[in-house]
Structures are given as C-alpha cells and as structure tokens.
Chain A
Amino acid sequence: MEPFNTLDALVMPLDRENINTDDITPVRFLKSIRRVGFGPALFANWRYLDSQNTPNPDFVMNQPRYQGAQIILSRANFGAGSSREHAPWALWESGFRCIIAPSFADIFYNNCFNNGILLITLENSEIDTLFAEVTTQEGYRLYIDLPAQTVTTPSGRIFPFKLDSFKKEGLLKGLDNIGWTLQHADEISRYEERRRQETPWVFLHR
C-alpha cells in the first residue's frame, strides 16, 4: 500500500447524500478476478450516456475544470451498501486519494483505509462552506496534512479532523495489516487453545 502524507489537489464536488457502492461501481463492471482494471467502472451509471461509454457532459467527472481531481467532496452516508472493495479500487485507479464528507458507511470506511485512501469526516457546516467555495472557484484545491490532521482551503482557513491513531499510522507508513496481526500469532494460538476447551464445537474436524 502506498503511504499517504500530505496532498495538495483539485477537488471534485459530488453533491448528493447516500452515494452507495452500486453508484460508485455498478455490478456489471465488476466481473473480474483481478484487483485492477476498475477505473472505467467508477460512477459508470452517471458518467456515461450509453453502453458505448459516451461521456455524459453534465456529470462533474467529465467537466474540464475537474480533470485531475484527487479529492472528492460529498454528502452524508457516503459508501453505503455493498461491501465490494472494487469501489475503493476504482477510486484509486481514477486518481482519487481522499474523500471528504459528513459521514461514511462502516465497511466502505475500512475498505478505503486498507487501500491507502484517506476519508475525512467534517461537520455539515464545514462541508457546506467547502461546497460553496468549490462550485464558485474554478481550479479550487485543498491541502490535506495527514500528520497534522488538517484541511486547508486556498484562503488559508484550516479545518482540523479526527482520525483513529492506528489508521493514521497505517496510512502514513503504508502498512500491511496482516503483517501486523501475524506479529501476534502466538497470542492467536493461545487463544485458540483456550477456546478449544471452552467451546469445542466451534472447531470442526474433517
């Protein structure tokens, strides 16, 4: 996983609530056993006009001013629905590294951090301010400082954000969770031994 430290990038606004993972990556694009190749699936139902993938000029992602955006600004309950990790894979492949919203769905939240994408939760009033600015100022960028846990606007306003310290460390170092857990393999074995006594039916034999 690629480490995340700071990011100075264009912002793309997606002004709707409850954007779900079927919206982010529709199922017809997901039929692959690989982890890559999902970029074209991103927001496909909104982004294309037809099955030939003709770009829909009204959708933000296709507007020239947002080309190269790496930050998405959106509304409450972003990432609801299916657990598909194809959603963060598609976001990553399309260049998005950070999403800012008032709230995120649980499974999507973990999936993004497991793929090096930073999710930032801000207050509704702060989100409103950012929406007002990004829609009126072409070329609007934000500066994300993960070590300091701040979002800085072009005019120098600073919005601090909260983040679990383990998730922060993982992102800063690009850490692999499995490696971390396996450092505690002895504890897992001890736990299994105890559970074999207490609830033997959990451990099946074949």
Chain B
Amino acid sequence: MTTMPKTLFQKVWEAHVVREAPGEPTILYIDRQLAYEATSPQAFEGLRLAGRKVRQPNATFTTLDHNVPTRSRRVEDIVDESSAQMIATMERNAQEHHLPFFGFSDPRQGIVHVIGPELGITLPGMTVVCGDSHTSTHGALGAFAMGIGTSEVEHVLATQCLLQKRPRTLEVRINGTLPPGVFAKDVALALMAQFGTAVGTGYVMEFTGPVPRALTLEGRMTLCNLSIEAGARAGMVAPDERTIAYVRGRPFAPQGEEFERAATYWLSLRSDPDASYDHTIHLDVTHLEPQVTWGTNPGLGTGVNGRVPDPAQAKDPAERKAWERALAYMDLAPGIPLTEIHLDKVFIGSCTNSRIEDLREAARYAKGRKVAQGVQAMVVPGSTTVKRQAEEEGLSDIFRAAGFEWRESGCSMCLAMNGDQLAPGERCASTSNRNFEGRQGKGGRTHLVSPAMAAAAAIAGHFVDIRTWQVDE
C-alpha cells in the first residue's frame, strides 16, 4: 500500500482535525494556548458574559510580559494605572479559571514565546496559539503555532478549538552555510529584503535545507519568529535529533518512557521526501552580510556595508513613494553608508532575540569594551530563567562593566507598553522584530539588527561590520 507523501505541516494539521465538512471551516484542535495581560481581558470578559467555562484549564498557560516593569520587580514600578489594571486582571482571570499562571515574582515568568519552549509547555507536533502574532516562534519545534485575535482567544478558551481554513504551504529552502558574524536574524531580514513582507501571506512556511538544519533550536526560533513579518500564518522547522535533545528534561515535557514514545512520534513528522509544497522559494546565505534595516518595515534593509537607497532608483512609483516616506520618517538621506548612522539607544531583547545564545553573542562584542558616550544601551532577557542563567554565566557582569543596563525580563521596548520607550526623534538599534513608525515610542526610529550587531553598535555609537572586530571565541 502506498500513501501520499505529506509535508510536516500536513501531518500536524491532519492530526488536529476535529471536523472537516464541505462549505465549513475546519474545526482544528488546539493543544496549547498562551495568554498574557494585554490581549486576553476582553476574551475572559466575553466568556463571563456568555456564561461559558474554560474547556481545558490545563491547556492555557498565562504570564505577564507586555506591561511588566524591567527596572525592578516592584509593583510600584508598574508604569501606570492601566498597566497595573491589566496585570491585576490577568492574575484574577487565571485564578478564577484555574489556569497555570507565572506572575511577577515567579521564577518562570517571561515573554510568552520565550517561556513556551523553555518550559516544555509547547512541544513538537502541537498546535499552539496565543493572542500575539509572534506565536509563530514555537514553530521552531515543529509545532503549528500561530497568532490569533482576542475573539479567537475566547473561542479557544471555550472550545479548545479554532475555526480554520487550511493554509497553503510555502517551502523556504535556505542553502549554503552561514558565514561567521551572520545569524538567523540576518537570514530572516535578508529573506524579506529579497521577497518582501507579504511573500508568506496565506501560507505556512516550512524552512528546509542545510541552514535551518544547522541552526540551534534558538536560532530556529528567531527564524520562525520572523516568519510572521514575512506575512506567513506560521513558520515551521521539522523536528530532528537537535529538537529532541532540546525538549528532553524540560519541566512540562513528558518524562521517561513517555518521552521516548513522544520522541519517536515527533521524528516521524518530518516532511516525506517526495512531499510537495504549494510553492518553493530559495535563498543562499553563503555570501550574506550582517543586515541592518533602514526603513519602516522589516523588508526595508540591506547588508551593513550597503547604503541607504535612493528613491529615484526604485523599481516603480509605488516603491518610490514607500521609500520616500520611510526615509522621511527615519530622517535618512539617500546614499549614506549604513555604518554612518549614529544611535541614541540600543535595545537587546524581545521574543526574537533575548534567549541565552543571543545574550552570549552580544556579550562577546561587549566584553572589555565600553558603550559609546551618549548612547543608552539596555539588555532585557526574554525570561527570568534566561536572566538567572546569564547571571550565572557572568554575562550580566560583562554587560554592566561595559555600561549596558541589565534589566528584568519582559517585552519592554519591543513595543513600548511598559514605559521603556524611545523619545520622539530618537534612533535605536534594536534586536526586536518591528521597525514600524512609532513602534518603540511615538516618533522613534528603529533599525533592526542581530544581537551581536546591536552590541557592537552600542560600543561604536554607530553601525559597524562586526566581522572586522576581534572577539574571543
């Protein structure tokens, strides 16, 4: 008997179909939901008004991340009344519905997309949702993970399912080998610079080829995290031995014999050799430079040795207008080298790049050096667990000695909801995921880079090609 070859996505999808009927959306079972204080209050309120209960209280994990202060863990340091109210509401909702909750002083607190994999809450082969677009991050484990709106959060709380139209599949084949000083972040930025920020619309992306294979799980998380910026509903990397090794021993992962049984299943999820995708794109990274964005969406960037483009050279009037608008907002003149862009702030953090490996890379460039005068640089670990580990490894000492602020974990200046933000006109090198107008504070200007590039930019006061720096191995 022969069976149709299937992709990773098809296998995960089919394992979660509760009901499929013509003319109806698929009822898809959701294994895990993550919730936090900013996009869930209205969902719980809706549940209450309709007199509905949470169907699976053990399947929704809650924490605090978007509004938490990073200067301290003191409640008095919450930036304002409304943040405090959101935080209190999350805690109350978690209690009322008996949901696991990692609050303010819990050592497991952190950004939802950092703690999910870190604690083994999200596992390979699962369906994972959260009221936050960067839920795509969890796809690095080989899960189908996507961001949803608040109405859908309520839907999942009440039914443990989601109504979905089956997305198409896009294979993103990444060939070559990553040169030194070039990271998953650069791959994702280069992908969008080449294919645009809507290349993934309507698709689930699967990253294949030697580059994702060679990446660590944390690198894969960065890649999948940014798949949403490329418009995709989700990003995925097939589970392999690295995935199994990463998951083994995590607090909420299965243990012992059950783990071995799960591992066998997870390894069976990889795409079959002859499986076909709806579309395939290719990227070769052998000659890739560290990337820097100059515009107001993540696709408007180029290699660090490049220049700010001239709108006169745009391919069509629409692109010219978009570039002109971006350069005006960013206050950049056409033709200037990216290495001449000077910075006011540097932010190392966010669910894109705030894990231990990110901090290790950044610390290599910070070690024994000093943050440039006039630059305010901060490191915000993605979770309290990451923070503790970085302190144990001495990374926090390296950062502090170099003049970086060492903060408590949270979303912080990725979206500027907790009081950490840019002032109008300030320019920032950021390891986060969005350089949209006003994202890091009204009038603030954001350049997206890798953690190593951000750390070096903090030291130099402007962007530099990190490949020219001497650093310890």
Return chain B residues, CB-CB under 8 Å to A157: none
Q: List 7 A-B contacts (CB under 8 A).
A: A18-B297, A20-B436, A23-B438, A28-B442, A77-B197, A184-B18, A201-B253
**A162 in contact (CB, < 8 A):** no
A114, B416: Cβ atoms closer than 8 Å: no
Return chain B residues, CB-CB under 8 Å to A45: 437-438, 442
- B residues in contact (CB < 8 Å) with A: 15, 18-19, 23-25, 27, 29, 31, 38-39, 41-42, 45-46, 50, 52, 55-56, 58-59, 67, 80, 82-83, 85-86, 89, 100, 123, 125-126, 131-133, 146-152, 154-155, 158-161, 163, 165, 197-198, 201-202, 231, 233, 252-254, 258-259, 262, 265, 297, 318, 321-322, 325, 415-417, 434, 436-439, 442
What's the minimum C-beta distance from B184 to chain A, rounded to whole angstroms?
A: 21
What's the minimum C-beta distance from B381 to chain A, rounded to whole angstroms?
A: 21
A83, B23: Cβ atoms closer than 8 Å: no
A26 to B438, alpha carbons, bound, how many Å?
7
What's the minimum C-beta distance from B117 to chain A, rounded to whole angstroms?
A: 15
Smallest CB-CB separation from A182: which chain B residue? B159
B-contacting residues, A125-154, CB 8 Å: none
**A27 in contact (CB, < 8 A):** yes
B82, A31: Cβ atoms closer than 8 Å: yes
B58, A206: Cβ atoms closer than 8 Å: yes
Return chain B residues, CB-CB under 8 Å to A20: 297, 434, 436
Return chain B residues, CB-CB under 8 Å to A42: none
- Given A188-B29, A204-B59, CB of A178 within 8 Å of CB of B159: yes
What's the minimum C-beta distance from B307 to chain A, rounded to whole angstroms?
A: 22
Shortest 8 CB-CB distances between A and B: which pairs?
Answer: A33-B41, A201-B254, A31-B82, A111-B149, A114-B151, A85-B149, A83-B147, A85-B150
Interface size in chain A (residues, C-beta < 8 A):
57
B201, A103: Cβ atoms closer than 8 Å: yes
- Given A16-B322, A178-B52, A188-B160, CB of A107 within 8 Å of CB of B147: yes
A182 to B197, alpha carbons, bound, how many Å?
36
- Given A18-B197, A85-B150, CB of A181 within 8 Å of CB of B125: no
Selected from A22, A164, A184, A199, the residue in CB contact (under 8 A) with B437 is A22
B233, A106: Cβ atoms closer than 8 Å: yes
Known: A28-B442, A166-B25, A177-B151; 8 extra A-B contacts, CB below 8 A, are A18-B322, A20-B297, A76-B198, A81-B434, A184-B27, A187-B27, A188-B29, A203-B58
Return chain A residues, CB-CB under 8 Å to B161: 181, 188
A28 to B158, alpha carbons, bound, how many Å?
30
Smallest CB-CB separation from A1: which chain B residue? B151
A205 to B258, alpha carbons, bound, how many Å?
14
Return chain A residues, CB-CB under 8 Å to B126: 202
- Given A33-B41, A202-B31, CB of A178 within 8 Å of CB of B133: no
Return chain B residues, CB-CB under 8 Å to A81: 133, 434, 436
What's the minimum C-beta distance from A157 to chain B, rounded to whole angstroms?
A: 23
- Given A16-B325, A103-B198, A105-B201, CB of A31 within 8 Å of CB of B83: yes
**A155 in contact (CB, < 8 A):** no
Return chain B residues, CB-CB under 8 Å to A28: 416-417, 442
A201, B262: Cβ atoms closer than 8 Å: yes
A114 to B148, alpha carbons, bound, how many Å?
11
**A70 in contact (CB, < 8 A):** no
Selected from B80, B158, B165, the residue in CB contact (under 8 A) with A31 is B80
- Given A31-B83, A187-B18, CB of A77 within 8 Å of CB of B23: no
Selected from B89, B202, B415, the residue in CB contact (under 8 A) with A33 is B89
Return chain A residues, CB-CB under 8 Å to B149: 83-85, 88, 107, 110-111, 114
Smallest CB-CB separation from B125: which chain A residue? A199
A63 to B462, alpha carbons, bound, how many Å?
41
A22 to B150, alpha carbons, bound, how many Å?
16
A112 to B38, alpha carbons, bound, how many Å?
19
- Given A26-B438, A85-B150, A187-B18, CB of A77 within 8 Å of CB of B131: no
What's the minimum C-beta distance from A197 to chain B, rounded to whole angstroms?
A: 12
**A74 in contact (CB, < 8 A):** no
Return chain A residues, CB-CB under 8 Å to B55: 188
Selected from B151, B160, B197, B254, the residue in CB contact (under 8 A) with A115 is B151
Return chain B residues, CB-CB under 8 Å to A192: 29, 160
A205 to B159, alpha carbons, bound, how many Å?
19
Return chain A residues, CB-CB under 8 Å to B50: 178
Selected from A16, A30, A204, the residue in CB contact (under 8 A) with B38 is A30
What's the minimum C-beta distance from B129 to chain A, rounded to whole angstroms?
A: 10
What's the minimum C-beta distance from A180 to chain B, rounded to whole angstroms?
A: 8
B86, A199: Cβ atoms closer than 8 Å: no
Smallest CB-CB separation from B329: which chain A residue? A45
A181 to B67, alpha carbons, bound, how many Å?
33
A166, B23: Cβ atoms closer than 8 Å: yes
**A62 in contact (CB, < 8 A):** no
Selected from B39, B159, B262, the residue in CB contact (under 8 A) with A199 is B262
A33 to B19, alpha carbons, bound, how many Å?
33
Return chain A residues, CB-CB under 8 Å to B416: 27-28
A106, B155: Cβ atoms closer than 8 Å: no
B-contacting residues, A59-106, CB 8 Å: 75-77, 80-85, 88, 103, 105-106
- Given A27-B415, A45-B438, A188-B161, CB of A110 within 8 Å of CB of B152: yes
Return chain B residues, CB-CB under 8 Å to A195: 29
A191, B58: Cβ atoms closer than 8 Å: no
Return chain B residues, CB-CB under 8 Å to A206: 58, 100
What's the minimum C-beta distance from A61 to chain B, rounded to whole angstroms?
A: 16
B85, A33: Cβ atoms closer than 8 Å: yes
